[in-house]
Chains A and B, each alone.
Chain A
Amino acid sequence: MIEILQQIVNGVAIGGVYVLIALGLTTVFGILGIAHFAHGSVSMFGGYLTFFMVTAWGFPLLLAILIALIVGFLLGMLIELLAYRPVRNANHINAFIVALGLTMMVEGLNLQFFGHEQVVIPTNLARVFDIGGVTIPELRLYVIIAAALLIIAMTLFVEKTKTGQAIRAVAENRDAAILMGVNVKTIPLVVFAISTALGVCAGVMVGSLFAIAPGIGEWLVVKGFAVLILGGLGSIPGAIVGGLVLGVTEALAAGFISSAYKDVIAFVVMIAVLLLRPQGLMGKA
């Protein structure tokens, strides 16, 4: 029982990272209908940047994260403006190809700036808590708390603010939103800025919990899409539930079945859910 609880706690930490990635992907998908494949690589760029500022320039971690967030915010807008806006009215496959091209460019930039060594963001958080037999490293606990706060903030933003309302309106019915006076030119900018900033947070978490290396970004974005499938494309509650389900499934699979095949098991679960509920766990039929 303790063992199961332990794996679930481990799963919630990685699940939180998945949720952050998936929240960005799902809002982008909801509003523009595109699979933003470069999201993982861009997130890893944020992780690398934080690592670089902390180790090379000696910035305090929190300051480095803050700067990386601002860079991510601006980078997101730039991506929307330069890459996706020109293919806005073209076939969706074209936007996907643009996303692939972007992925290569960002991966190339990461290699160019930060090399191909595997890096871990140093945090100096080495304490380990023991709660009723379940051990939680300090860092993992903070990651879970930070992810939870970000998820709540994002949900409140989308549900309660005027801009959030506009985002939901555009996702639901673009033409009607235009008629209601929503500026559909700035909404995608806002969505990309926030999504990329959330991605940067996920990148920092991956970089401090595990490691950043070339290829990790693609792995992360694939997981993000798996979460979207699980939860339902474009659904924010779906991204939260899907991310946690995927994270916990993986942790349980790694702990009790096989760590080599944990990703296979996670994908099998995804495909099974898709067959039983093609619209995803939280998607509308």
Chain B
Amino acid sequence: MKLRATHVLYAAALLGFVLLPQLITVKYYLHLSVLALVWVIAAQGQNLIQGYTGYVSIVQAGFMGIGAYSTTLMGIHFALPVWLTILLAPCVTALFALAAGYPSLRVKGHYFAIVTLAFNLVIFIVLMHATDLTQGEAGISGIPKPGREDGWFDFANRQVYYYFVLVIAVIMTGLAALIVRSRIGQTLIAIRQNETLVGAIGIAAWKYKLFAFVAAAMYAGLAGALYAHYQSFINPEIFGLAQSLDAILAVIIGGSGTILGPVIGAFVVVFLPEYLRFADSFRLILYGLLLVLATIFMPRGIVGVVGQLWARITGKAAS
């Protein structure tokens, strides 16, 4: 019965996402919805390393930057088709993640968090200063969109791009669910719960941790590539520390270590600051306050709170 209830929930959520552009009347909200879907992909990746493996990585936006810049630069310098560069971007990001993850996964906890944070800063500084390649702070504009200019696949049309990102976000969410259910995913959860024990029963934990780290980076690289082709403009500003923190918040607010959590969290992280616009200059203060209160009073995220409510209504233990 419980399984059926969650399936209905997933179907309803999917239907909601499909109908969303028809329900939205303000174009700006459609724009935010596309951004939120991009963030769903990035947050699903973050959830693999942070939520399931229990290693807080603070470099997700940096990896998004690598994805965004690699798809853009491959398009410019090698004249590759957009489809191909979008597919190659996560692979390039994975190479960087391998190089960064191998040394940093030797340390745990706060050390790991701070080392990844340093990686994000390094990526940001290089994007800012390697002006020959990245054009620095001014950024790169006129990034082409995939598809043709006519008919169904006119990706310059915001609604079409919404569905494009939606399909990819659904696929990536499904993939995350498959990973979690697989033996690899179960090992990741075991690492979060007791890494020493995992090592003691003869599993090379570092391989699994590296897998989670690289997979998370590939999600970020894909999200970054989709972002670049959607906005047609990128500069280093949007791949900084603050955005990596947003990815962490999306996972925490939505519900860490759940499949639906990052989806909800990504929308909260994109839409909440917009809704707080009425508060004008108090926006940042209010956003911060909400975060502090949310962490103190609902540490298991929105999914956790809803799950508890559901359990209370149906009288069953929360799954």
Stretch at the interface among B108-116, B179-187, B308-316: B108-116
> Once the chains bind, are B284 and A87 in contact (CB under 8 Å)?
no
Tell me, yes or no, whether A124 is within 8 Å of chain B by CB.
no
- Shortest CB distance B251–A (Å): 10
| Interface mask (B273-310 → A, CB under 8 Å = 1, otherwise 0) | 00000000111111111111001100100000000000
Which chain A residue shows the least CB distance to B114? A225
Q: How far is the CA of A154 from the CA of B281 in the complex (A)?
A: 38
Tell me, yes or no, whether A275 is within 8 Å of chain B by CB.
yes
| Given A103-B288, A108-B282, A270-B118, A263 and B125 contact (CB-CB distance below 8 Å) | yes
Overall SS of chain B's interface: helix
| Given A97-B248, A222-B117, A264-B122, A105 and B292 contact (CB-CB distance below 8 Å) | yes
Which of chain B's residues 205-263 have a Cβ closer than 8 Å to chain A? 241, 245, 248-249, 252, 256
Chain B residues within an 8 Å CB radius of A103 = 288
Q: How far is the CA of A101 from the CA of B296 in the complex (A)?
A: 11
Chain A residues within an 8 Å CB radius of B289 = 101, 105
Stretch at the interface among B61-69, B99-107, B148-156: B99-107
| Given A108-B283, A271-B103, A97 and B288 contact (CB-CB distance below 8 Å) | no
Give the bracket for the number of chain B residues in contact with chain A. 35 or more
> Once the chains bind, are B114 and A229 in contact (CB under 8 Å)?
yes
> Once the chains bind, are B110 and A97 in contact (CB under 8 Å)?
no
Chain A residues within an 8 Å CB radius of B175 = none
Chain A residues within an 8 Å CB radius of B248 = 97, 100
Among the listed A91, A226, A263, A275, which residue makes an inter-chain contact with B114, where contact means beta carbons less than 8 Å apart? A226
Tell me, yes or no, whether B56 is within 8 Å of chain A by CB.
yes
- Shortest CB distance B218–A (Å): 22
Which chain A residue shows the least CB distance to B104? A271
> Once the chains bind, are B56 and A93 in contact (CB under 8 Å)?
yes
Tell me, yes or no, whether B91 is within 8 Å of chain A by CB.
no
Which chain A residue shows the least CB distance to B252? A97
Chain B residues within an 8 Å CB radius of A267 = 118-119, 121-122
| Interface mask (A246-284 → B, CB under 8 Å = 1, otherwise 0) | 000000000000001101100110110011001000000
> Once the chains bind, are A105 and B285 in contact (CB under 8 Å)?
yes
| Given A35-B110, A108-B284, A229-B115, A222 and B121 contact (CB-CB distance below 8 Å) | yes
> Once the chains bind, are A96 and B113 in contact (CB under 8 Å)?
yes
- Shortest CB distance A250–B (Å): 13
> Once the chains bind, are A233 and B111 in contact (CB under 8 Å)?
yes
> Once the chains bind, are A112 and B285 in contact (CB under 8 Å)?
yes
Which of chain A's residues 91-149 have a Cβ closer than 8 Å to chain B? 91-94, 96-98, 100-109, 111-112
Tell me, yes or no, whether A180 is within 8 Å of chain B by CB.
no
Tell me, yes or no, whether A70 is within 8 Å of chain B by CB.
no
Tell me, yes or no, whether A90 is within 8 Å of chain B by CB.
yes
- Shortest CB distance A106–B (Å): 8
- Shortest CB distance A92–B (Å): 8
> Once the chains bind, are B114 and A35 in contact (CB under 8 Å)?
yes
Tell me, yes or no, whether B7 is within 8 Å of chain A by CB.
no
Chain B residues within an 8 Å CB radius of A229 = 111, 114-115
Tell me, yes or no, whether A29 is within 8 Å of chain B by CB.
yes
Among the listed A91, A111, A278, which residue makes an inter-chain contact with B284, where contact means beta carbons less than 8 Å apart? A111
Tell me, yes or no, whether B27 is within 8 Å of chain A by CB.
no
Among the listed A91, A96, A218, A263, which residue makes an inter-chain contact with B241, where contact means beta carbons less than 8 Å apart? A218
Seed contacts A93-B256, A97-B291, A107-B284; 20 additional CB < 8 Å A-B pairs: A35-B110, A92-B110, A94-B295, A96-B113, A97-B248, A98-B296, A101-B289, A101-B290, A103-B288, A104-B284, A105-B288, A108-B281, A108-B282, A112-B281, A229-B114, A229-B115, A260-B129, A267-B121, A270-B115, A278-B111
List 9 A-B residue pairs with CB atoms under 8 Å apart, sorted by A's residue number: A100-B288, A111-B281, A112-B285, A226-B114, A263-B122, A264-B125, A271-B103, A271-B118, A274-B111
